Structure formats: C-alpha cells, structure tokens
Amino acid sequence: MISSGLDTVTERLEKPVNGLEDVFITVSLSGPLMSERQHRKLNPLVVKVTSATDMPEKPLSFDELRLR
C-alpha cells in the first residue's frame, strides 16, 4: 500500500506459488496518487505516536475508559 508520502513500495511474495521460488514486486508512482481536490476531500491523516505517558498498567475496556 502506498501512503504517507511514499512513492515506491516493494513487497515480497507471502505465499508459495507453483513454479515460482521467490518474487519481489516494486510499485512506483510517477506522480501524485490523488489530485489536490481528492486529497482535500478525503483528508488522509497519518498519526505516529512516538511517546506515551501515564498509561494504565492493564488493558481497559471502552466502558472503563469512558469513566476516566
């Protein structure tokens, strides 16, 4: 999947295919994947969490989270 500003992605064959020992496939874009209009309309958003503090010691249900 090409996203987050990437213009090239390489993937490896995940499951064996009769007659192929191994395959790498590279997909490259020569221009933007979406027009500016599509970009504004769809508003793709990528969030990368690099740090989190004061996290609970055990997983909480959605109901427990709502109470906090």
The per-residue pLDDT for range 2-58, each reduced to its tens digit, is 455 667 888 888 887 787 888 888 888 888 777 888 888 887 677 778 888 887 788
Residue 25 forms beta bridges with which residues? 11
Residue 2 and residue 9 in contact, taking contact as beta carbons nearer than 8 Å: yes
Query: Domain boundaries in the chain?
Result: 1-50
Please name which of 45, 11, 41, 43 lies closest in space to residue 27, comparing C-alpha atoms: 11
**C-alpha span between 31 and 60 (Å, rounded):** 44
**C-alpha span between 57 and 55 (Å, rounded):** 6
Q: Tell me how far the alpha carbon of residue 25 is from its chain's centroid.
A: 18
State the pTM of this model: 0.37
Res 27: pLDDT: 85
